[in-house]
Amino acid sequence: MEKLTRMEARSLTSLQHPLVKHLVRLRTDHAYRHAHQCLLLEGLKPIQEIPVAIHKILYTSAYASYASSMRGEKWHIEEKLLHKISGMRSPEGILAEVQMPSFVSLNKMKQLLALDGVSDPGNTGTLLRTAVALGWDGAYFLPGSCDPFNEKALRASRGAHFKLALAKGTVDELHQWVKEEDVQPLVADIKGKLAETIFPPLRRLLVLGNEAHGASEAIRSFCAPVTIPMQGSMQSLNVAVAGGILLYLLRSTTPP
């Protein structure tokens, strides 16, 4: 592959450059990135796989050959700028400003994961990545949940944001969808029915609640509780771990 030369790309050398400030704000400022509808994405593989528009590619010399084949405005950057923009101690060497995926409606969802106040971005990204791996259709973000486009959530998801349908709304809107579309609604709860004994229909909803307090009473009012059997003195699991187990069990369970 022919390498990209400096003459074919702009050079970014100053920490005070407006582009540096813009990209840092995309990474750190919720309101700013949503206003611009753009994200800062890091890593060669996630950037290569995304289906959305790439506005800018920023790369160090080691990644010039990869950047040459990518679409988007290209900027060669120095290591010190890479650390500032990415916020990582050991950034990979290639970043991209990309179009933020649009939120969609629930109309065609068959297997939906909903997050009710899940606040940790690492948990959020891990759950999205797991949902993609296990074939779920989408994720629904209820009020109080982590911004799905938080920088830590993006890193933990490894590109899942661009492979999974994302939606957001209220509990009432979710409840209305459940009733209109004849969806079986389930919520993770330690006092629930064992997941292995549930044979959900084609259309199902799994709600995971806040790490400390669980799901809201509004969710519990229309969702059947489901749980994972645990032995010994352990009474609960991390929400990303519990969610992963339930996503697997409820996807793969079939009637006897």
CA triple 210-175-118, angle to 5 deg: 15
pLDDT digits (tens, 9 = 90+) for 5-48: 444 678 888 889 999 999 999 999 999 999 999 999 998 888 88
- 6-99 homologous superfamily: Ribosomal protein L30/S12 (3.30.1330.30)
How does the average pLDDT of the chain come out, rounded?
88
Instruction: Domain ranges for the chain, please list them.
Output: 6-99, 111-252
**CA–CA gap between residue 160 and residue 55 (Å, rounded):** 19
Cα–Cα distance for residue pair 236/232, rounded to 1 Å:
11
Q: How many CB atoms lie within 10 A of CB 137?
A: 16
pLDDT value for 33: 94
The token pair that represents 28 in the structure block? 């750190």
- Tell me 8's DSSP state: G
Which of 243, 161, 227, 242 is closest to 195 using CA atoms? Answer: 227
Confidence band, pLDDT 50/70/90 cuts, at residue 97: very high
Quote the pTM value: 0.86
Q: How confident is the model over 180-209, as pLDDT tens digits?
A: 998 999 999 888 777 777 776 678 999 999
At 159, list the tokens: 């590109």
Strand partners, 205: 112, 185
Q: What amino acid occupies position 28?
A: T
CATH number among 3.40.1280.10, 3.30.365.10, 3.40.50.2030, 3.30.465.10, domain 111-252: 3.40.1280.10
Within 10 angstroms of residue 7's Cβ, the number of other Cβ atoms is: 6
How far CA 253 is from CA of 131, 178, 198, 241, 256, in Å, comes to 15, 20, 7, 18, 9
